[in-house]
Every structure is written in structure tokens, then in C-alpha cells.
Structure 1
């Protein structure tokens, strides 16, 4: 009887593990990131907490505890989601090294996205979990109400990480036409953070701006996972959040697949 292949032999599993292990090679960078997360978390928490207090103890459906959860869960996710632009694919397209990637018997898109997701998953350990612990101890942040909510929150978090890196991959493929795509990355950084809920909950936006935000994949990267993880939404509403995230993940992966195929036909090796 033929045995099933081991996951360790699957090349795509190895890309995920390689990203995880590669990020573990920079412990001081992780420590510096945690210090930055804690510092800005305290500043942001003070500002947002004051806003809730000035509004009479509730602001756009947020209490002091749920606003603290928004702040500290967001800080914990910063090392895992790509809201900053920049991708290894951009460099490889500019140098022409991506031509070598296309010669390999694996999907270029899957290789890059899985490697980036692996890096994001590792960052949850030295940056994400300690940031959340700080929020629990210092700010009394809200937590999911049940074990099932924890499990769904974790699923939402994983999808959010995948959406962010798959979206950045699609953005990076513009390099097949532009060659130098750093300007696009800077624009992505400005827009993604704003609409993802990096600075403030998107529910504080005016109605028209909230509608615009919800028509983008960015809330699925941070705001929606935070809603589920903090217990801000539960039951059917939480499942709806996860469903929206899943649809956006499929959409950005589809766009990345199409732009990769088109870019491969247009590819020019630029030297390097």
C-alpha cells in the first residue's frame, strides 16, 4: 500500500517553514519591535482611552475595555501583517532574478506569499503575544468570551495575515510593468494602514469613508480580526467577518495569479 506523502516533503510547506525559521534569525530586531509596540501602544492607548472617556464611556460601540483590546491587539499584529509595503518580489523583478523563479517547478506566487506568511506567523511569538499580555495587565483589555470565540479569532487572525501578504504580492507584481515600484509601495503603505484600522477603528469614520474602507481588502487585514479576537462581534456577526475575509483572500490571490501570468509574458531582465 502506497504511503501518503509527508507534509515536510511538500515544497509549499517548506516555503512556509523557511519563512518562519528565517524570521527567527533576528531576535534583536524582534525585541526592538516589541519595545516599539509597547511604547506606541501606551501612547495610543492613552489617547483612545481619553476619547472614550470624553464620550461618556462609550464611543462608536467601544467601551474602555474593547478600545484597549483594539489598541493592543493591533500593536500585536504589526509584525505579522504587511501594512508597510515592500516585498522581496519587487527586488527580484527589478534585478531580473525573478526569471530564475519562473524556471522552478513551483508557483512563484505561492512561494513568495507562503514565505511571507511564515515570517508573519513567527512574529506573533516574540511581538504579538507579549503585546497582548501587556494590554491585559496594563490596560484591562477585553478578551473573547468563550473557547469557541478564541478559536474563531485565531482563524480570523491567520486569514488576516494571509490577506495582507497576498495583497502586497499583487501590488509588487506591478513591477513587471513599472520596474521601479517603490512609489506604489509608499502609496500602499499610506492607504492600507488608514483603511485597515491601524490608527483608529474604521467605525469612527464618516459613513461615506467607512463605505469606501469596506470596499477594500484592508479591513480584513486588521480591523476584522481585532473585532473577532476582542469579542467586539460574536456569533453570526463574527462568522460574517471571517466570511468577508475569506472572500477577500480569494480575490487578492486571484488578482495576483492573473498579474503573475501577464507579467511573465512581459518580463524583461533588467540586469543586476
Structure 2
């Protein structure tokens, strides 16, 4: 069973079905995304204040940046940890570890199913709304339409791997809400959600691109808006996904030797 891909394929479907049951939450989240998208577009347009562009961001690219970012919020997941962290705290993770599969890969498959549902309900609607009512920068090359979904999938993979590592820290910290909160506060700013990374000084951009945070938002947006060669952000995302996934794998090997039950 360990070598079979069937259980992991079923986990993708399970993740999709699970999150599709939260219809009211989906509608509420979508409404909130659109409202905050309008606020963010207004702020960026006010910053332009008649100027042609700022750091390469003209009105069309600014609006595209905002609506792609709003759509990726629920798709990529920048805040919060994976629920496996709570299962570690309660000790229920013992059941997960006893199952005859690769737990990390199974949870990644489930997260891909969740992301697939989010693309349909939380990503496409804000992007369509933004394209209808604001200037929008569509890709000029056909290849971009293939590379952007790949970049978005890698962003989901990097996000999952980072949140999985944070969740596993509960094996050693017992209560890992501190690191999770710190990650949540950092991801939006350092990942390029709040403002484009191009707005930062050059040396700050260099430092940030040495971290995994731009993989989450800025890299997919750069691929979609064709800001330079798409191979650079894609290679960067792939490298960080491999590093973080391997880190999660190594952490799992250490965690299974330190199963601590705290509470019930």
C-alpha cells in the first residue's frame, strides 16, 4: 500500500470534498477578499497619483498584482498552521503515524485538493472581478498560461511544507503558537502580498529572495505578469519546495521518536 499512488489520489479528492462543504464560509471569505481588494487597489492608485509607474508598476500591473494576490490568499494559505499541529498537541497524531502510508505526502495531497477547490471559488472570482472593472495585465505569451498554474501549485507546496514544519515543532515545543503567529505576521509582508517586493530597496529585495517567503505570492505574480524570465522564479520555488519538504521529512523521522501527549 505504501508504494501505491491510489491512497494519495483519493486524499486529493477528499481534500476537495471536505472544503467544498463549507459553502457559507466560502461566500463570506470571497466577499471579504473582494472588499479588501478594492481597498488595496485604491491605495496603490493613490500612490501613483498621476505618475506613470512606480518601480515598474503602472495602473494595469498594480491592479493585476492586487487581484492575483487576493485570489491567492485562500489558495496558497499564508496564515495559520496545519491542523496536524493540534493533533500533535492532543496526541491524536499517534493514529496518523500508525497508518500504512507516508503521512507527509498524504497531507500534501489533501492540501492540493483544498487548493483545487479554492482556485475555483476563491481565486478565479476575484481575478474575474478585477479584470472586468479595472485595467488588467494579461500574459502576452501562450507559455505563461501553462507556467502560471505550475508556479501556483509550487506556491501551495511551499506553503504546505512551511506550515507542516511549523506544526511538527509542537513535538518539541508542545505549544507552537508563538512560531505560528510569527510566521503569519511575516508571510504577508515578506512574501509580497502587502506591497510588491519591487517597492523595497534593492538590498532588501536581495535578502528577501534568499528566503522562501516570495515563493508564496510574489513569484507567481511575476510569472503571470511576465516580469522577466519565468524560469527564475519557478526554479526558486522548486528549490525551496524541495528544501522545506525534505526538512519536513527529516523532522518527521525525529518526531516519531518523540511522541508527547499533552492534555487529553
- With normalisation by structure 2, the TM-score equals 0.95
- Report the equivalent of 1:251: 243
Give per-residue Cα distances to partners, 1:34-80, cap 9 Å, x unaligned.
Answer: 101110000000111222345x2111111111111100000011111
Residue in structure 2 matched with residue 230 of structure 1 by the alignment: 225
Q: How does 1:82-101 map to 2 (within 5 A)?
A: 82-101=77-96
Equivalent residue in structure 2 for 1:16, among 5, 8, 12: 12
Deviation at 1:117, TM superposition (A): 2.4
- CA deviations on 1:78-131 (whole Å, 9 max, x unpaired) are 111121122111110000011111111111111222212221221111111010
2:81–2:164 CA contact under 8 A, matched in 1: no
1: CA distance, partners of 2:15 / 2:113: 4
Report what 1:108 is aligned to: 103
Other-structure match for 1:240: 232
User: For structure 2, which runs of at least 5 residues remain unmatched after alignment?
Assistant: none
Question: Whole-Å Cα distance in 2 between the matches of residues 30 and 75 of structure 1?
Answer: 14
1:193 alignment counterpart: 188
Matched length = 262
CA distance in 2, matches of 1:66, 1:58: 9
Alignment of 1:119-198 (within 5 A): 119-198=114-193
What secondary structure, in the 3-state scheme, does the structure 1 residue paired with 2:230 have? helix
Report if aligned partners of 1:89, 1:98 keep a CA contact under 8 Å in 2: yes
The alignment's C-alpha RMSD in Å is: 1.6
TM-score between the two structures when normalised by the length of structure 1? 0.92
For residue 33 of structure 1, report the CA deviation from its aligned partner: 1.0
Q: Give the CA deviation at 1:171.
A: 1.3
2:46 alignment counterpart: 50
Q: Which residue of 2 aligns with 1:61?
A: 56
SS of the residue aligned with 1:168? helix
Unaligned runs of 5+ in 1: none
- Whether the aligned pair in 2 keeps the contact of 1:82 and 1:168 (CA below 8 Å) is no
For 1:81, the equivalent position in structure 2 comes to 76
**Contact 1:113–1:169, Cα closer than 8 Å, also in 2:** no
Is the 1:89–1:172 contact (alpha carbons within 8 Å) kept by the matching residues of 2? yes
